Each structure stands twice: as structure tokens, then as C-alpha cells.
Amino acid sequence: MSEALTAKTVMIPGDGGDEIEAYLAVPDDGETAHGSVVVIHHMPGYDSPTKEITRRFAAAGYAALMPNLYYRDAPGASPDDAAATARAQGGVPDDRLVGDVAGAADYLRALPGSNGKVGVIGYCSGGRQSFLAACRLQLDAAVDCYGACVVTAPPSGFPLQVEPVVGLAKDLSCPLLGLFGADDQYPPPAETAELSRVLTDLGKPHDFHTYEGAGHAFFAVNRPAYRPEAANDGWQRIWDFYGQHLAS
Amino acid sequence: MCTYQTEQIGVEGSGKGASGWFALTEATVYFDHPVHAMAEHTLNIDFRNPGRGPAARVAVELTAASARELARAIEAALAAAPAALVD
């Protein structure tokens, strides 16, 4: 594989038909049949490291699109200013997130060469949102990277609009790959074990891995939380998982 | 981790951001991932004026120890000032 790709900013219809910004990366041979991935950014926002992740999917042969979930809150702002604004306003409402992922998935399916299969992946808060989207939308594969508050509610009084979404598990539309750190407290291993139990009881296919010596955000190469052994293994599992469920 | 916890208060005063001084109207305080500091978690404060746009922000990311020391220093400075000036 040449890993040649083209990346650019596009405007896409998001929730309610709102035009929102998104970062698109497609393989240069993208008009041959390919699967697609919606990338959900973490709480720090639509930032350069997550754009790099989006490009990585394109280098591996997938069309990838990351919607700017904070675009409405702070259009044109730098990612950190936009994230601060979104946090102060209570975060991204779940319904809006689902609508934005739906818009991104539709955009990807309409690209030349799309095989019609779309996966989703999210990091941190985006891990929870990846699970949420896979329960509310018809998708083909979902990856949850250390998403908290899927099973357990945050302590009362938190102003962010975050509620457990495990109750939606019966509607999970696709296989779920979960990648977690044993040292993480949000989500703690007990929470991801409970999610696995629920999915098993419901007969929902899932594959969870919890890495010893890793905590939250172990994929983040620019942060002290980076754990190369966990991240390298996690990436390989992502390639295997998407290769199985998204490839033509 | 993403703590999601955010304390939000109204403030009166001014801050100096990327475009110079501006009036502050609120501050958000949370212990979560930093954008820049080389720590997994920091006490983050965003001094903001949303009416002037998202860039009207003065941000700091402090280690927990530094944040506690700052809180102590603020209280000490206020306690040392004449009561008539700070009431």
C-alpha cells in the first residue's frame, strides 16, 4: 500500500441539516472500493493530533471523516478555544452528536468508491459517543477507546450533558471493539467489565481489551499518557477489526 | 481520564489574551486533560468573555500542587490587604 492520501477541510450537513466543518482524508486510490470511518474527536476538540489519526485511516485505505463537534459553538476558533467554549456551554448534546455522525456517515457513503460500509471510532469522550452512535445509527463496526460514562453516571451536579447510555445496548447495530487501560479511572476496568457482561447477555458481538500498565489516552502520542506497547497492539486490533467488517 | 467536572463562576476583572486586554465575565475551573502542560491531568482555568468570542480567553493549566499553592497564595494576599480594600 502506497499510503498516499489527500486531506482537506469540507463542509457537511450535520444534525438538523446544519452545515458543519469536517476534516476529510481519503486514499489517493480512493475511487477503488473502500470502507469508511467516522472519527470522533476527544474533549480537547478538533485538534491536530486527531486530524493525524484521521489521516492514518486514509493511509491504511479507508476514507475517513472527522466532524468538528464544536463548530456550532465556536466556528473558526482554534481547537482549544472551541473546546473551552463547548465545555462552558455544557458539552455536546447526545442527539446533536448522533445527527452529526449520521451526516458524516452519509457523506462517506456518497463518496466515489465507497463500498457502503462505515465504521466509527472515538477517543475519550468520543469513546462513549462512538458506542452511542453505534446504538442509534446503522453502522458496520464501532471502536470505543477508553470512553467513560457508558455504564456509570458522573457524580451529580456535573454541568456537562453526559448520561449513561448502556441502556441503548440492545440497539447496538454492529460489532464493538473496546480498547481500555487497566489504570484508567474513567472508565475503570469494573465499568468496562460490566459493559462487556451486558453485551454478552444481549448476544451483541464485542471484543474488549484492557492493557496493563496503561491508563487513559494511551493512544495519544503527544501526551505523557502514551503507552507504545498498548497503542501498537491497539492499532493492530483496529486494523484487524476494520479489515474484517469494513473492507470490501 | 475525562472528569467532565466543570466549576463555573461569574467574575469581574480583566485579562490579557492573544489580542490584548479585555473584560472578563466568567471563569471555568476543572481538573482534566491539559492541552499543553506535560502532565496527564491538570487544574485548568479558563478566564473568558463569551460575548467577545471564543478567543477571548486566558487559559492556565497547573499541576494539582501548583493549583493548591496558587489558591493558598491568593487567600494569603487577600488576607494581608487592608480589610477596607477587599470587602
Q: What is the pLDDT of residues A116-173, one digit of tens each?
A: 999 999 999 999 999 999 999 999 999 999 998 888 887 655 556 677 899 999 999 9
- Identify the pLDDT of residue A155: 62
Q: Is A218 helix (H, G, I), strand (E, B) or coil?
A: coil
Q: pLDDT grade, residue A186 (50/70/90)?
A: confident
**Contacts for B82 with CB less than 8 Å, ≥ 6 apart:** none
| A109 burial via Cβ count (<10 Å: 0-12, 13-18, 19+) | middle
Averaged pLDDT, A193-215: 97
- What whole-number percentage of chain A has pLDDT above 90? 87
Q: Are B61 and A82 in contact, with CB atoms under 8 Å apart?
A: no
Flag whether residue B48 sits within 8 Å of chain A, measured between CB atoms.
Answer: yes
When CB atoms are compared, the residue of A44, A74, A158 closest to B4 is A158
Domain boundaries defined on chain A: 5-245
Cβ contact A186–B6 (<8 Å): no
Q: Which residues of B touch A154 (CB under 8 A)?
A: 3-5
- CA angle at residue B58 from A97 to B21, to 5 degrees? 130
When CB atoms are compared, the residue of B33, B39, B57 closest to A44 is B33
H/E element, A175: none
Going along chain A, which residue ranges are E strands?
Answer: 5-13, 19-27, 34-40, 63-67, 114-123, 141-145, 176-181, 206-211
What is the ipTM metric for this complex? 0.78
Q: Taking CB atoms and an 8 Å cut-off, how many pairs form between chains A and B?
A: 82
Cβ contact B35–A155 (<8 Å): no
Q: Which one of the listed residues A41, A42, A73, A124 is annotated catalytic?
A: A124
User: In b/e form, how buried is each residue of A217-227, taking b as 16+ CB within 10 angstroms?
Assistant: bbbbeebebeb
The 10s digit of each residue's pLDDT in B6-44 is 899 999 999 999 889 999 999 999 998 899 999 988 999
- Identify the pLDDT of residue A67: 98
Q: What integer best gives the mean pLDDT of chain B?
A: 92
- Identify the pLDDT of residue A115: 96
Query: Can you tell me the distance from the alpha carbon of A62 to that of B24, in angstroms, rounded to the nearest whole number?
Result: 45
Cβ contact B4–A224 (<8 Å): no
Cα separation values, B7 from A81, A165, B44, Å? 17, 24, 10
Of residues B5 and A61, more confidence is placed in A61
Averaged pLDDT, A47-57: 97
Q: Which one of the listed residues A15, A73, A140, A184 is annotated catalytic?
A: A184
Q: Which residues of B touch A42 (CB under 8 A)?
A: 2, 33
The sheet with strand B20-32 has its strands ordered as: B7-17, B20-32, B42-48, B57-62
Cβ contact B33–A124 (<8 Å): yes
- For this structure, is A206 an active site residue? no
- For domain A5-245, the CATH class is alpha beta
Q: Are A81 and A90 in contact, with CB atoms under 8 Å apart?
A: no
Q: pLDDT grade, residue B1 (50/70/90)?
A: very low
Flag whether residue A17 sits within 8 Å of chain B, measured between CB atoms.
Answer: no
- What whole-number percentage of chain B has pLDDT above 70? 95
**Greatest pairwise CA separation for chain A in angstroms:** 50
Averaged pLDDT, A192-199: 96
When CB atoms are compared, the residue of B6, B35, B38 closest to A160 is B6
The 10s digit of each residue's pLDDT in A89-105 is 888 999 999 999 999 99
Query: Can you tell me the distance from the alpha carbon of A11 to that of A7, in angstroms, rounded to the nearest whole number?
Result: 13
Q: Is A89 helix (H, G, I), strand (E, B) or coil?
A: coil
pLDDT at A15 over 60: yes
Q: pLDDT grade, residue B5 (50/70/90)?
A: confident
Q: pLDDT grade, residue B4 (50/70/90)?
A: low
pLDDT at A68 over 50: yes
